[in-house]
Amino acid sequence: DVKVTQSSRYLVKRTGEKVFLECVQDMDHENMFWYRQDPGLGLRLIYFSYDVKMKEKGDIPEGYSVSREKKERFSLILESASTNQTSMYLCASSGLGGQHWTGELFFGEGSRLTVL
Amino acid sequence: KQEVTQIPAALSVPEGENLVLNCSFTDSAIYNLQWFRQDPGKGLTSLLLIQSSQREQTSGRLNASLDKSSGRSTLYIAASQPGDSATYLCAVYTQGGSEKLVFGKGTKLTVNP
């Protein structure tokens, strides 16, 4: 079974702190994604990556950056956390590689971030 | 721009009932459609993936259909159980420049014992 692991299930940070959310997948998938999920707004795509060291902006990239140094790991970085970044963050991966992702999407368990 | 709608937003049924969840999308140029389940505070679990060339997929008590021309998909759950209580989301992978999944906001299902 595909496993997507998010390192932290719950985090509490203070405004202005730098926050790292880590995601690792074990199925050699080329494509990885970061979403945030908020009540009433659904899932919104922050960033995605279809290869090592490659990244593409999603719908709401402002205030976020990402890093993909290894194929299995995709990190989301909040350079200076703000209260409006309090949310559930979901990482996902899919195979059938390259730039055109047609495969099934697999999600991690999510990271609930609270910014005070 | 692709839009995905799931109606109703919430549904409550007695145990044992067969039920249908609906998903509609505005742009029929899709690669595939995927149904997910989400339990409270958890990530999304993939249930069924239907490629654009397929009409339906089945897994256990679940059956998903796809009618691209009308922009609709349904998820049929047979003999519902309290353990089926969760939020069900559909997502479509749209062709074209954006090339990304678009999610519906989900239907929250409660199955009462």
Per-residue pLDDT band for B64 (boundaries 50, 70, 90) equals very high
* Model confidence band, residue A98 (pLDDT cutoffs 50, 70, 90): very low
Q: What is the DSSP letter of B70?
A: T
Query: Quick check: bond before A61 cis, omega within 30?
Result: no
% of chain A surpassing 90 pLDDT = 75
**pLDDT recorded at residue A102:** 53
For chain A, say whether B88 makes contact (Cβ under 8 Å): no
Question: Could you tell me if B101 lies within 8 Å of chain A, comparing CB atoms?
Answer: yes
pLDDT of residue A27: 85
Q: pLDDT, tens digit, for every residue of B5-14?
A: 999 999 999 9
Q: DSSP character for B8?
A: -
- Give the range among A1-5, A57-61, A69-73, B28-32 with minimum mean pLDDT: A1-5
The 10s digit of each residue's pLDDT in B71-97 is 999 999 999 999 999 999 999 988 765
Contact: A110, B43; criterion CB under 8 Å: yes
Does A1 have pLDDT greater than 70? no
Report the C-alpha gap between B31 and B34 in whole angstroms: 10
Which residues lie closer than 8 Å to A77 by C-beta, 6 or more apart? A18, A19, A20, A21, A64, A65, A66, A67
Mean pLDDT of the region B38-64: 94
Length of chain B: 113
**Cα–Cα distance for residue pair B46/A15, rounded to 1 Å:** 34
Q: In A4-78, which residue ranges form alpha helices assigned H by DSSP? A: none
Query: At residue A63, does pLDDT exceed 60?
Result: yes
How many beta-carbon pairs under 8 angstroms link A with B?
45
Contact B92, B107 (CB under 8 A): no
Question: Taken in order B62, A110, A61, A87, is the CA torsion positive or negative?
Answer: positive
Residue type, position A3, single letter:
K
CA neighbor of B92 nearest in space, from B100, B81, B80, B83: B100
Do the beta carbons of residue B105 and residue B39 sit within 8 Å?
A: no
The pLDDT of residue A49 is above 80: yes
- pLDDT per residue as tens digits for the range A25-46: 998 888 899 999 999 899 999 9
Residues of A in contact with B105 (CB under 8 A): 40, 42
Tell me what pLDDT residue B31 has.
Answer: 85
